[in-house]
Amino acid sequence: MRLFTAINFSQSMRQSLMELQVKLQRQALRGNFSRPENLHLTLVFLGECRAGGLGEIKTALTNCLFEPFALLVDGVSRFSGRKGDTWIADLADCPGLVDLQHRQVKALASIGLELERRRYRPHITLAREVVLESVPWPWLIEPFGQIVESVELMISERKDGRLTYTSIHQVEAGS
């Protein structure tokens, strides 16, 4: 099983992210745009995990207590790539998010999982391999966001040829 932890979005947050995608699509010669139901904010990528360790993973995540916090999208940027750019929604500094991510990494490492060691840069992927007619720079947006009250353990799998993310465990804030 390919697993990651994530923040999923309210309908209004998802709608605002989709509006950013539409602006990109209007100028795109090509690109692989995230399906609306797949838009999320990754906290920790666990990679391939054995099903037998799932209970231990769920317990470790449940023990990472957190209080609700505000998540705010305040910009759009890109990572350059050979096949096209990856366009992302940028997030305002959020100590609650960074703290939760660090605590999840620590808890998951303590049960023996080997996790990515690269620095965490929170972002929401809007599209990959995008080639635009012209780059809309600087791209100014009206900030939008939501209150984060839960995080989820997600499984990533292909179903009928489509990448699908499914929640298999949820942890509520304050629990």
Domains delineated in the chain: 2-172 (3.90.1140.10)
Q: What pLDDT score does 117 carry? A: 82
Q: Give the 3-state secondary structure of residue 86.
A: strand
Q: For residue range 19-50, what is the model confidence (pLDDT) as tens digits?
A: 999 989 988 899 999 999 999 999 999 988 88
Hey, how many other C-beta atoms are within 10 angstroms of the C-beta on 19? 11
Q: What pLDDT score does 136 carry? A: 67
Confidence of residue 118 (pLDDT cuts 50, 70, 90): confident
Q: For residue range 125-154, what is the model confidence (pLDDT) as tens digits?
A: 999 999 988 776 667 889 999 999 999 999
CA pair distance 145, 16, nearest whole angstrom: 9
Where b means 16+ CB within 10 Å and e means fewer, 86-121 reads: bbbbebeebeebeebbebbbebbeeeebeeeeeeee
